[in-house]
A = this chain, B = another copy of it.
Amino acid sequence: MAGEKQKVAIIGSGNWGSAIAKIAGINTARHTDLFEKEVSMYVYEEKIDGQNLTDIINKQHQNKKYLPEVRLPENVVAMPSAQEAAKGATLLIFVLPHQFILNTCKALKGQLSPNAQAISMIKGVDVNDSKIKIFADVIQDALQIPCAALSGANIANEVARDKFSETTVGYRPGGREAAEVWFKLFNTPNFRVGLIEDVAGVSLCGALKNIVAIGAGFCDGLGWGDNSKAAIMRIGILEMKNFAQEFFDDVKPQTFTETSAGIADLITTCRNRKCAEAFVKTGKPFHELEAELLNGQKLQGTETAREVYQFLKSRKRVDAYPLFHTIYRIAYEGLEPAKLTADL
């Protein structure tokens, strides 16, 4: 790759995709020795006040729908087709809702630059009975290109407003050099990138934290106070770490206990769990609360709790993860929320 510049494509343009586009656009313009300045961004086309969202982004340099009031660099170019956005790209950033991954990969397969590589910013895991897969592996297998992962304590609106944040890039064994490229693409004085050789750990942090945050929300709903919530988080990070070490190879414990993807993101995610809190206080089921409080958007934690429960059940390992199990039982089986700590 020496001498050839990297060309960046962002596949996805929601709240987080737009925030990361801002950072990538700033850095490709800053490191023109390394990167082509233009960053293409795949935007699912929709009409906003009668205008195409891609046109709004390309003319007004704002994603009015998903990240309003934040100016995107002019070198970020929105395109309504993933194939067009990915054309010639050597660095592909996947930041789509996970249900769109497989179809998007199918559309891109065979169209990519021969030395392309990818990074996944997708939360969640892909569970099929007794099989579990991180999305970095889903992408890597579907496209046959190396795929790293990025996750961290990264509320998109704060990153987009240049508030100090850290993040973590997990790279593959032997992938340190590629990781340094991702570092240069994302690191800024107020968005500090850490590197760790642990794609699975970084990916699982981003998925499993959402289960623990449901438990933290139950604590808030029960009015149990700060000691309880901190205890749930501590027990949660250890179940996350144990789960990753049991079912994935080469996971590093410190990804969970020492990185931004691990403990820091858990702290951030556990701050505001209004749905889980409301679940306890109102007794309403989650699908009703999602409609009322999240505009119908699915809560990631309950979905992941269910998927992880089904996986553990088929592996006969439910009992080894009492916090995950209890959160599942409260969310789906009518267990009294006050029993949250009874089996811990």
Contact = CB atoms under 8 A, between A and B. Distances in A.
Interface size class of A (residues with CB under 8 A): 35 or more
A154 interface: yes
A58 interface: no
A271 interface: yes
Interface in A142-171: 153-155, 158-159, 163-166
A237 B234 CA distance: 14
Interface in A296-344: 340-341, 344
Given A153-B226, A341-B164, A258 B234 contact: yes
Contacts of A158: 224-228
Interface string A213-241: 00000000000111111110111011000
Contacts of A257: 254, 257-258, 263
Contact of A265 (B163, B230, B341): B230
B234 A163 contact: no
Nearest to A190: B341
A268 interface: yes
B166 A231 contact: yes
B264 A225 contact: no
Interface in A258-285: 258-260, 263-265, 267-268, 271
A61 B221 CA distance: 31
Q: Identify whether the interface residues of A are mostly helix, strand, loop, or mixed.
A: helix
Nearest to A256: B257
B153 A230 contact: yes
Most B Cβ at <10 Å: residue of A158, A230, A231? A230
Contact of A263 (B154, B224, B229, B237): B237
A154 B223 CA distance: 16
A224 B165 CA distance: 9
B228 A165 contact: yes
A238 B260 CA distance: 12
B166 A234 contact: yes
A260 B158 CA distance: 29
Contacts of A226: 153, 155, 158, 267-268, 271
A192 interface: yes
Nearest to A266: B230
B264 A192 contact: no
Contact of A230 (B231, B238, B260): B260
Given A230-B265, A230-B268, A225 B260 contact: no
A231 B344 CA distance: 28
A67 B226 CA distance: 18
B263 A163 contact: no
A228 B163 contact: yes
Nearest to A270: B267
A277 to B, nearest CB: 16
B258 A225 contact: no
A159 B226 CA distance: 10
9 contacts: A153-B230, A155-B226, A158-B225, A163-B224, A165-B231, A226-B267, A229-B267, A230-B260, A234-B260
Interface of A: 153-155, 158-159, 163-166, 190, 192, 224-231, 233-235, 237-238, 254, 257-260, 263-265, 267-268, 271, 340-341, 344
The 3 A-B residue pairs with the shortest CB-CB distance in the complex, in nearest-first order: A257-B257, A165-B227, A230-B264
